[in-house]
Structure 1
Amino acid sequence: MDLKFIKYEKRNHIAYITLNRPERMNALHPPCHIEMDGVWDDFMADKAMWVAIITGAGEKAFSAGNDLRWTAENRGIVTDALRGKGGFAGITARYDITKPIIAAVNGFALGGGFEIALACDIIIAAEHARFGLPEPRVGLMAGAGGVHRLPRHIPLKIAMGMMLTGKHVTAEEAHRWGVVNEVVAMKDLIPTAERWASEIMECSPLSVRASKEAAMNGLGMTTEAAIAKHYDLSTKLFRSKDAVEGPLAFSEKRKPNWTGE
């Protein structure tokens, strides 16, 4: 893939995605969204990729969100052709990614940067990371999912307080409110994300995908309706080789050989 603003690597079933505009605090402009669309398409299509870790270049920012300077400099020329089909960073409006995604937040995650993290399944934060939706302070709003996802992650009054003031919260505060899974020293950020990825990969990749699909699709339903709903990957799972391999490996007291099939 010909990528100018994103680093994309694959190792040991893990896709490493790095937002690579440190000179702009990894703020994203339309060409970034287009590149990220391609990255997520590739991640989903590659059967050897089981988990993604997304982070930002450097130690200052995960992503400062929308590149407002680029927007000001290019006002009037942004067309639909420059907008990512999957929303901000190709992920905030994309709901078909059933593979797990870990956000390794290495600094400021503000505006669209926080929206990217909220669209992930697990968030690991460096101790100096900060989170916020400051869009109202520049006459905008967190329209790439932030105003909807944040109140679904934390208590409503806390979410409203953050959104209506645009204030930041620390990594520890985000962890206390349940937005962040773990807070670590910067040097341990990627190793910790890799540890989480390794623990995920101890499970059947198809089981993980089926679990994510059912959990996310059932969020807006009553428990009764969610349980009764048909999920494509659940059906595929119980007809899969992994569903045979798991109990067999357990009975033989060995590690399972997952194939995702």
Structure 2
Amino acid sequence: MVTNRAVLTERRESVLLVTINRPEARNSVNAAVAEGIGDAIELARRDPDIRVVVLTGSGDTAFCSGGDLKDMAAGQALVPADPEKRAWGFGGICEHPIDKPVIAAVNGAAIGGGFEIAMACDLIVADDTAYFSLPEVRNGFLASAGGAVWLAQWVPRVVAMEILLLGDRFTAAQAKEWGLVNRVVPRGDALAVALEMAEVLAANAPLAVQASKRLVAGLVGTESVTDREAWARSNAEKKTIEDTEDAKEGPRAFTEKRPAIWKGR
């Protein structure tokens, strides 16, 4: 199965393997990636024979490096044109919950929105060479694809603040210590271990698995009612930031490979 060139899908019995396929761009998210992942998640939601989704990146250097800043600097949208698909959130998954388990196989860098895509999954398996960060503040943005919504629920407040405000990288081992990753495995093994976990999950009673996920994730239908208010605040802050000069300067500086000149407006 191929959703589109930017995202590959493969059925492995009751497991759907989804691969971001832009290794030349460190698997960064553009509109095609967002649509491809979102379509795959929607397929899994609708197909009763799919019990688990595994999401990974192609190559061995990046799971996903976040939004494509070159596209952003050029004024290109990172979301599909279809308004229903835009509602799925960043990467087609961050505001697109389903009650079937989704496992992230983090085979390299998970930066910015790439880390948020991993956080949108239920379980994370990471190579021991993988690393993570939410560097949005360094590019004139905020972590509006779920980072600011979810982090404070998962880690102590001071840790969430450090990750969000400093934007520093941290290792897979540190992520596991903080409770952000389930398993850290030798380089190159993340996908194999994630698929092994998927087989175990797929062998369990599907309705019980889905009900358990709904309860833990606070899902009613396809909405996370637990996070509803936090998402509303996050989206409002995102709109405020997007309209600033600094938000335009960040991608320009990245593309031009120079330090950003912040104006605070």
Normalised-by-shorter TM-score class = 0.7 to 0.9
The CA deviation string for residues 121-166 of structure 1, in whole angstroms up to 9 with x for no partner, is 0000001101110001011111111111111111110110111011
Contact (CA 8 Å) 2:104, 2:123: kept in 1 or not?
yes
Q: TM-score, normalised to structure 1's length?
A: 0.79
2:95 corresponds to: 93
SS of the residue 2:203 aligns to: coil
Task: State how far apart, in whole Å, the 2-side matches of 1:214 and 1:33 are.
Answer: 27
Give the corresponding residue for 2:110: 109
Structure 2 residue identity aligned to 1:11: R
Render the CA deviation track for 1:219-255: whole Å, top value 9, x for unaligned. Answer: 987xxxxxxxxxxxxxxxxxxxxxxxxxxxxxxxxxx
**Offset of 1:36 from its aligned partner?**
2.1
Distance 2:80 2:190 in 1: 37
Partner residue in 1 for 2:176: 175
Deviation for aligned residue 1:186: 2.2
What SS does the aligned partner of 2:86 have? coil
> 1:94 is matched by which residue type in structure 2?
H
TM-score (norm 2): 0.78
Gaps of 5+ in 2: 227-265
Other-structure match for 2:57: 56
Task: Work out the number of aligned pairs and report it.
Answer: 220
Greater C-alpha radius of gyration: 1
What is aligned with 2:86? 84
Q: Which protein, 1 or 2, shows the higher relative CO under an 8 Å CA cutoff with sep ≥ 6?
A: 2
- Residue ranges of structure 1 left out of the alignment (5+ in a row): 222-261
What per-residue deviation string (whole Å, max 9, x for no partner) do you get for residues 96-141 of structure 1?
x000000000001011100001110000000110111000101111
Tell me the secondary structure at the aligned position of residue 17 of structure 2.
strand
Question: What residue in structure 2 maps to residue 119 of structure 1?
Answer: 120
Structure 2 vs 1, CA of residues 213 and 14 (structure 1 numbering), >3 Å: closer, same or farther? same
Shift of 1:184: 0.4
Supply the distance in 2 between the matched residues of 1:115 and 1:100 (Cα, whole angstroms). 16
1:32 matched to which residue of 2? Answer: 33
Distance 1:215 1:77 in 2: 30
**Residues 88 and 144 in structure 1, CA contact (< 8 A), matched pair in contact too:** yes
The one-letter code matched in structure 2 to 1:117 is A
- Partner of residue 157, structure 1: 158
> What code does the residue aligned with 1:169 have?
F
- 2:119, 2:76 → 1: CA distance? 28
Q: Does 1:200 align with 2:208?
A: no
Q: What secondary structure is seen at the aligned counterpart in 2 of 1:58?
A: coil
User: 1:11-30 maps to which residues of 2 (within 5 A)?
Assistant: 11-30=12-31
